[in-house]
A and B are shown apart, each in its own frame.
Chain A
Amino acid sequence: MLKIPYSPQESRIFGNIQRPLITMRIFSKVKNIWIPIYETLADTGADITLIPRYLGEMIIGDITKGKHVEVKGIVPNAVLPGFIHTLKLEVFRKQFETKVLIADTDDARPIFGRFNSLDLFEVNFNKGKELIIN
């Protein structure tokens, strides 16, 4: 069992907000090294794992070689373009390959989503305090 406490972050609305932020390591095919990506949001509402453009370029070089897609969230009329790539990840001490959306913008928060990512684990979002991974 692994426990990861939520991280406090500042918010003008709440003053302080606790978020389930994790470290996601992604293997860079460009340099053959693992790059730790801190403060990645563990998000059960996201279908897919997502990283912003510069991180994508550090990991695979030319991001445009992937399959072009446009994804939507809850914001009406807002579309996030990006490219799907299969990357090697290490999260919660486990290595696996999964499809990752590399956003075609840097204004996109790294997210650890469900498809072949969070769904690989039994995770308890415990009362806004900690993640418990069994």
Chain B
Amino acid sequence: MQHSRFIDSYLNQFYYIRTVVNMKEKITKYEYVIKVNNKIVWHGLNPKEKYWEIKNKNPGKEVGIAWQSQEDVLVC
């Protein structure tokens, strides 16, 4: 009986964590990417301060930004 309760508790935690992970995957289905001379140096959701920081550290190099997602089909 106690053993069963332990397993139930464990499974509940597992399902909870899996749900949170799935939600995060859905929420963060896109991200920004910063490239220096076409090489990815950073990716994340808030590129604003990071871009200026990377730009300042790479004078004379092209520092660009891309927005990427996992869309399977684009219908705009």
Contact = CB atoms under 8 A, between A and B. Distances in A.
Contacts of B16: none
B74 A41 contact: yes
Chain A interface size, under 10 / 10 to 19 / 20 to 34 / 35 or more: 20 to 34
B64 A23 contact: yes
B35 A38 contact: yes
A64 to B, nearest CB: 16
B40 to A, nearest CB: 10
A37 B52 contact: no
A46 B76 CA distance: 7
A129 B63 CA distance: 27
A52 interface: yes
B53 to A, nearest CB: 12
Nearest to A36: B64
| Chief secondary structure at chain B's binding surface | mixed
Interface string B42-76: 00011110011001000000111111111111111
Contacts of A19: 74
B30 A38 contact: no
B67 A35 contact: no
Contact of A38 (B29, B65, B69, B70): B65
A57 B46 CA distance: 11
Contacts of A45: 76
Contact of B68 (A12, A33, A39, A55): A39
Contacts of B71: 11, 109
B46 A41 contact: no
A37 B45 contact: no
A74 B65 contact: no
B66 A38 contact: yes
Contact of B76 (A57, A73, A106): A73
Nearest to A53: B48
Given A17-B73, A38-B64, A73-B76, 6 more contacts: A31-B52, A37-B64, A54-B46, A55-B65, A58-B47, A110-B67
